[in-house]
């Protein structure tokens, strides 16, 4: 891998910022707010920011960059796809529980649902995300999908994945803003009490995590090298994803990396 | 240009959504709010969302995709760089006036400045944006900068530009949220009065504009073709940006496009 050290530093930084975000949101709900519970009250609401940061932000981010980890390149592409999809499904499950928590809380308190821009963009993300997962499984995990369909849809798959991820982060920033305005009364948000500063910093951490994931995910030279192709399935499931590595895979990998590095550079500096 | 029709549709859609956003923000401040003025009051505040949407979102977005417009490919790269930089400088100027308006308003009303996550992320963008412009001018407009520096910094220039643009949109969504909560009292934001719906839709338009700009800017096959190079400067200003087109430029352009198209496809479907 080119610039392995740089990759490692940025990936470890992303992990640190991600775990930092989780620590901050935990501190927020456990220390400054009412803790966690499932009673229709504030403690139930608190699952909303917590599970969104853990699932819809951190796990989704890791799922996005999981192909980039060089120590996974020995695993088959098929297994990595299952891990990629599995992490996304887990992230989505946590997001759904998180949404249930906030609807329960609103209903118990007679607060209307779905009136805010936060809820509109958030709901769009919660609808588009499973659509993206189902499309991903249909196109890249079901062997029958032809190669040309996989290749044609890859730019859309990558772009929509990153767009949903970015929208989730923007939604979180709106959510923090809402909760600080509604939750802080005296002192109010504008008086900058410690809770306000903590959650503002949480917002910056979440944005930084997003920025790091987007950088890692969009470096052409950090892509998983393509595997040498000897087709394993004889019928019409002609997919590059079903190919097995052959004995020359390691050598080819280096050649492929070098070619891609040059293409990537040419692309980017054009 | 490959998929010229698709490009045209998406670019016209981006323009429509961008002008739609401006129409919505104008309706908001002129019809639902206090109009425009420069008196330290609400009418001065209203310049803040208006100029941010026109300058920091719409103009910045257009500046980002200006190289992609095929009808500009006859202009020299140098001229397009000046247009790219000029649009960014104009966007920044409007953003600064917009920030002055909100500081004036806060000071006149004794509201603290810089306490919200909106203001933190927004200030970061307002600081990083001119840094990005100055770096861009130093690296890509000053002839003395060596080619390898330009090439090495291009991925950073592109990424940080798109990151700042995305951050500005996230900041706008937080700003809309804040203003709707603070500005709507009876009926409140949660009662979904027409103003709340209008500004929520404005938020969706701004997010859609961002999504379209990011899609257009990140399609390798829609890049401006490289120009054939016959160096015009003899000294150490060995920069691909200082090269002039020669008579073979048109032919080369097609070859280059084809090569880039294939590389781009290989990259993306890898």
| Residue B259 is assigned to a structural domain of this protein | no
* Facing residue for B115 by CB, picked from A192, A211, A219: A192
pLDDT of residue B2: 77
pLDDT of residue A243: 33
| Residue B248 is assigned to a structural domain of this protein | no
The CATH number linked to B31 is 1.20.120.1770
- Closest-CA distance, B65 to chain A, in angstroms, reads 14
- Total domains in chain B come to 1
Map tokens 């000046």 to a residue. Answer: B82
CB distance from A243 to chain B under 8 Å? no
Q: Enumerate the H helices of A184-230 as residue ranges.
A: 194-217
| Residue A138 is assigned to a structural domain of this protein | yes
The boundaries of the domain holding residue A203 are 4-226
* Facing residue for A263 by CB, picked from B181, B219, B267: B267
CB distance from B113 to chain A under 8 Å? no
| Residue B240 is assigned to a structural domain of this protein | no
Cβ pair B121:A204 closer than 8 A: yes
pLDDT of residue A228: 55
Q: In tens digits, what is the pLDDT along chain B, a chain of 270 residues?
A: 779 999 999 999 999 999 999 999 999 999 999 999 999 999 999 999 999 999 999 999 999 999 999 999 999 999 999 999 999 999 999 999 999 999 999 999 999 999 999 999 999 999 999 999 999 999 999 999 999 999 999 999 999 999 999 999 999 999 999 999 999 999 999 999 999 999 999 999 999 999 999 999 999 999 999 875 433 333 343 333 333 333 334 444 444 444 444 444 433 332
In order of B14, B70, B140, B248, B250, the CA distances from B74 in angstroms are 23, 8, 19, 14, 10
| Residue A264 is assigned to a structural domain of this protein | no
- Closest-CA distance, A134 to chain B, in angstroms, reads 19
Cβ pair A178:B181 closer than 8 A: yes
Q: Enumerate the H helices of chain B as residue ranges.
A: 4-27, 42-45, 47-51, 60-65, 77-109, 117-140, 147-183, 194-217, 249-268
Structure token digits, residue A186: 């005296």
pLDDT of residue A2: 77
| Residue B149 is assigned to a structural domain of this protein | yes
| Residue A236 is assigned to a structural domain of this protein | no
ipTM above 0.90, yes or no: no
Q: How many CB atoms lie within 10 A of CB A262?
A: 13
Cβ pair B269:A155 closer than 8 A: yes
- Residues 144-163 on B with a CB inside 8 Å of A are 150-152, 154-155, 158-159, 163
| Residue A170 is assigned to a structural domain of this protein | yes
Taking CB atoms and an 8 Å cutoff, what residues of chain B touch A264?
267
- Closest residue in A to B201 (Cα) is A117
């Amino acid at each position: 891998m080119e610039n392995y050290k740089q990759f490692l530093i940025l990936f470890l930084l992303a992990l640190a910022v991600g775990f930092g975000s989780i620590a901050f949101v935990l501190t927020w709900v456990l220390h400054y707010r009412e803790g966690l519970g499932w009673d229709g009250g504030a403690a139930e609401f608190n699952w909303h920011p917590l599970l969104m940061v853990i699932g819809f932000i951190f796990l989704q981010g890791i799922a996005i960059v999981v192909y980039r980890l060089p120590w996974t390149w020995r695993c088959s592409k098929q297994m990595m796809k299952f891990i990629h999809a599995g992490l996304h499904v887990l992230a989505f499950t946590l997001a759904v529980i998180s949404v249930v928590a906030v609807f329960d809380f609103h209903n118990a308190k007679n607060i209307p649902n779905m009136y805010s821009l936060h809820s509109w963009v958030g709901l769009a993300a919660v609808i588009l995300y499973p659509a993206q997962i189902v499309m991903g499984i249909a196109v890249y995990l079901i062997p029958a999908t032809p190669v040309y369909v996989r290749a044609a849809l890859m730019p859309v798959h990558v772009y929509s994945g990153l767009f949903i991820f970015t929208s989730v982060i923007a939604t979180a920033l709106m959510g923090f803003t809402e909760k600080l305005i509604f939750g802080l009364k005296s002192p109010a948000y504008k008086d900058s009490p410690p809770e306000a500063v903590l959650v503002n910093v949480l917002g910056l951490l979440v944005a930084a995590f997003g920025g790091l994931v987007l950088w890692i995910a969009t470096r052409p030279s950090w892509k998983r090298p393509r595997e040498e192709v000897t087709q394993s399935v004889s019928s019409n499931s002609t997919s590059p994803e079903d190919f097995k590595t052959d004995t020359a895979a390691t050598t080819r990998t280096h050649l492929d990396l070098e070619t891609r590095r040059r293409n990537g550079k040419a692309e980017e500096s054009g």
